[in-house]
Structure 1
Amino acid sequence: MAVFVCARCDAVLTGSVERVALPVCAHQKYGHDLLPALMESGTYAVDPEPAGPPWRPWSEVGAEEAEARGVFAPEFSLSFGAPGAVVVAPGDTRGTVLIPERCDGYCIGLDGRAGPNLACACCGSAVATRIDDCSYWQAVWLTPGAVRRVPDDGPEHAMTDWEALAEQHQGAPPIESCGAWNARWEAAVGAALAHLLSVSAGARVALPDGVMEETFGRALDALLPPGPTRRRVVLAGPGLPPADEDIALVPRHPRTGEVWRPPGGTAAVPLEADVWLHMAFPCAQLPVPVTGGMPEGVFRDDPLPPYPWRLFRPDREVFLSTLARLPAVREPWLRGIYDRMRDAPYACPF
């Protein structure tokens, strides 16, 4: 556990928080509604990539310098700000005040366009950026260099091993009660789709029926060329029988970010754990109680499970950002997919 303090005056700026993996949806923009908090209360994550100004266009950076930073395909611009921004839930901040002249936003909240908009209440130093505008996950990003991490004596949560993770069976449902697809699912599938394409070698792949086909199938049909199916994708991970296929969708640990490794030569495609858990252990609605009974011929009259009002669309920006950071995108066939999707923002499947 840790707390973050002002680097200038040592004033405490957060409650006691524990480090977890950075969510794949951390920089996602979704719809035009207010989104909930990005981070769970009592947790923080670190973004290893540079963030914020100054920005340099791709034409100025060049492919060689970009590849040295782990970006292998052109992006509109690259940040040359400091790496290592820390993100916490807004409710975990302490001792900060808004900077009125930096409270700009696009719609109904703050989007951080003017730079750090939270100051230390003790010394007035700009220390963080509050994000709560529509389309953004609500979060507070602590500015690298303006804050300092201090160990805290709070109780550490026991590390969840892979077997315990599988036993939780608490995956995030793919569909909201209103019939919209879960934004976290669209981000998670967008990132996994980039990895899946990179290991497919450009050949058609087969998916099992059900939610995997519903979320990945249309995208693979649109992005891969027609031809015979050469490889098969399965779910693999803790609590599931061993996979004997070429490609496996496996969980990424929610705390450490570690990717579960399948045995043998099976290629691993990482997927966010809460999405993987729902795919691996779906909760079916039973027509009768598990215990006791109901009169013969009588079934539950609970509301039907939510049904999506549109086809699933992986998050395009998460997909492109992930693909641009995979060395495989330098292969001509995969670079062709990247360029086509970057230049056609509303093309199928996005």
Structure 2
Amino acid sequence: MTVFGCRNCDATLTVPVSRVALPVHADQKYGNGPGSLAPALEPGTFAVDPLPSGSPWRRWKELESGQAESLGWYAPRFSISTGPVGRVLLVPGDVHGAVIDPALVGDSACCGLDGGEPNMACDTCGIPVAIRIDDCGLRQAIWLDPRTTRMLDNGPGPHPVLDWTELIDQRPGIPPSEPSGGWNPMWAAAAASALAHLLTASGGDPMAIPDPRVAEVFRPTLDRLVGPVSPGPERTLVLAGPGLPDPDGDVALIPVHPQTGELWPVAPPVKPVPLAWDAWRHLAFHAAPKPVGRTVPIPPEALPAQLPAHRFQPDGQIFLSVLARLPEVRQPRLRAIYERGRPYSYTVYAF
């Protein structure tokens, strides 16, 4: 089993957990509440952030030549973290033995804890060990500080790794709409990340999208960013993955394994564009429920809508962050898209 504890006193801080891939929506801020967003992970799991996080922060203009690239940034940001790597994300209910320390809680949050710096301490020795987040518009989370926590035991956790076939059967994906009728924030994050990879795979060229559901998610934003499909040869975006035939397009939306982070392989010259499993699975296999027990057909306009009525808006902050970490953003066409978007970081809709 995998268990984390205090680096100072070895007190246990978590229940047994299984490692999963860090989801793209782990640090998401979406809307302005009221209340926080659901945790990015399932109970009994953890994910590790491989990137620097927290203080110290450096202004972009203060960085020396090549320093930003060494930290994985290829387009300007206001500031970037040069803090420790390896912070561990957990569902709040899986953390025991750590308590919120009022002396560590800052005053920058709105309705809860925003987690800028460690605000939880080990209940045994009192050393700061984690950041608790539950402010409005933020995902509920606890991030263990890698400087003061460590893995006490490393072994199989409560969730065994599934193969692709098992994923199709056991993890059916997440619908794009919420009960309120709006788009699910996870979809906004997943599509934003895929959109950044799609632009780099296509070089910013217009893209044909034959699948109507895929087109409904990506077409409006692509048209605003690069323009509609022009006459002449076209690049085509298709779905590829387990249970689907070999892709017959130029660019393929492929699933990311939610536990291992593995990408579904496609053979060149097809260019892969990773998409979070829960969104990919729904696009690839979701079928509208068929009415039963009726002899009179139901007209299409009377069936439940499969996608929200209002236009989809990918998460602008995640889009820009992912794009800035792809070396291709240094190409003039993609850099221009990035620069146009920076003033509107909360929504790609404004680009």
Same fold by TM-score greater than 0.5: yes
User: Using the alignment, how far apart are the partners of 2:348 and 2:272 within structure 1?
Assistant: 25
Residue 187 (str. 1) matches residue 186 (str. 2): no
| TM-score in terms of structure 2 length | 0.92
Instruction: Report the Cα distance in structure 2 between the residues aligned to 1:337 and 1:63, rounded to whole angstroms.
Output: 23
- Please, which of 146, 149, 171 is the counterpart of residue 147 of structure 1? 149
Partner of 1:296: 295
Name the structure 2 match of 1:162. Answer: 164
Q: 1 CA distance for matches of 2:313 and 2:266? A: 28
For residues 234-288 of structure 1, what are the alpha-carbon distances to aligned partners after superposition, in whole Å with 9 as ceiling and x for unaligned?
Answer: 0000001111211000000000111111134210000000000000011311111
Letter in 1 for 2:70: A
1:263 aligns with 2:262: no
Match of 2:286 in 1: 282
Are the aligned partners of 1:6 and 1:147 in contact in 2 as well (CA < 8 Å)?
yes
Counterpart CA distance in 2 for 1:194 and 1:41 is 29
Please say if residues 2 and 152 of structure 1, whose CA atoms lie closer than 8 Å, have aligned partners that are also in contact: yes
Letter in 2 for 1:319: F
C-alpha RMSD of the superposition: 2.1
- Are the aligned partners of 2:28 and 2:138 in contact in 1 as well (CA < 8 Å)? yes
| SS of the residue 1:217 aligns to | helix
- Aligned with 1:149: secondary structure? strand
- Tell which deviates more after alignment, 136-145 or 335-344: 335-344
- Aligned mates of 2:15, 2:346 — CA distance in 1: 42
The answer (yes or no) to whether the contact 2:250–2:271 under 8 Å persists in 1 is yes
Judge conservation of contact 1:16–1:152 (CA < 8 Å) in 2: no
Q: Which amino acid aligns with 1:255?
A: Q
Name the SS for the 1:329 alignment partner.
helix
Moved more, 313-322 or 262-271: 262-271
Query: 3-state DSSP class of the match of 1:70?
Result: coil
Deviation at 1:349, TM superposition (A): 2.3
Contact 2:320 2:345 in 1 (8 A): no
Contact 1:15 1:94 in 2 (8 A): yes
In structure 2, distance between residues paired with 1:69 and 1:296: 63
Structure 1 stretches lacking a partner, 5+ long? 289-293
87-96 or 197-206: which moved more?
Answer: 197-206
Deviation at 1:84, TM superposition (A): 0.7
Contact 2:2 2:157 in 1 (8 A): no
Alpha carbons 1:212, 1:279 under 8 Å: kept: yes
Equivalent positions of 1:1-350 (< 5 A) are 1-33=1-33, 34-104=36-106, 105-113=108-116, 115-151=117-153, 157-168=159-170, 170-225=172-227, 227-228=230-231, 230-288=234-292, 294=293, 296-297=295-296, 304-305=304-305, 308-345=308-345, 349-350=349-350
Could you list the per-position Cα deviations for residues 144-168 of structure 1 after superposition, in whole angstroms to 9, with x for gaps in the alignment? 1200102256655332112222333
4+ residue segments displaced more than 6 Å:
none
Identity in percent: 48
The 3 A distance-change label for structure 1 pair 170 and 11 is: same
What is the identity, as a one-letter code, of the residue corresponding to 2:121? A
* Cα shift readout 1:164-186 (whole Å, capped 9, x = no counterpart): 22333511000001011000000
SS of residue paired to 2:66 = helix
Gaps of 5+ in 2: none
CA distance in 2: counterparts of 1:163 and 1:138, whole angstroms: 30
Between the aligned partners of 1:156 and 1:331, the Cα distance in structure 2 is 45
Q: Is the 8 A contact 1:175 1:308 kept in 2?
A: yes
8 Å contact kept, 1:109–1:132: yes
State whether residues 63 and 74 of structure 1, in contact with CA within 8 Å, keep that contact through their aligned partners in structure 2. Answer: no
Residue deviations 1:279-308, cap 9 Å, x none?
0011311111xxxxx3533879x9834752
> Per the alignment, do residues 150 and 255 of structure 1 end up closer, same or farther by CA in structure 2, a change over 3 Å counting?
same
Structure 2 CA distance for partners of 1:346 and 1:153, relative to 1, 3 Å: closer
Q: Secondary structure at the match of 1:234?
A: strand
**Residues 193-222 of structure 1 deviation map (CA, whole Å, 9 limit, x = unaligned):** 000000112221111242211110011101
- Secondary structure of 2:197's counterpart equals helix
Deviation at 1:63, TM superposition (A): 5.0
**How many residue pairs end up in the alignment?**
343
Quote the Cα distance in structure 2 between the aligned partners of 1:347 and 1:158: 37
Q: Judging changes above 3 Å, is the alpha-carbon distance between structure 1 residues 273 and 125 closer, same or farther for their aligned structure 2 residues?
A: same
For the Cα contact (< 8 Å) 1:169–1:281, is it kept in 2? Answer: no
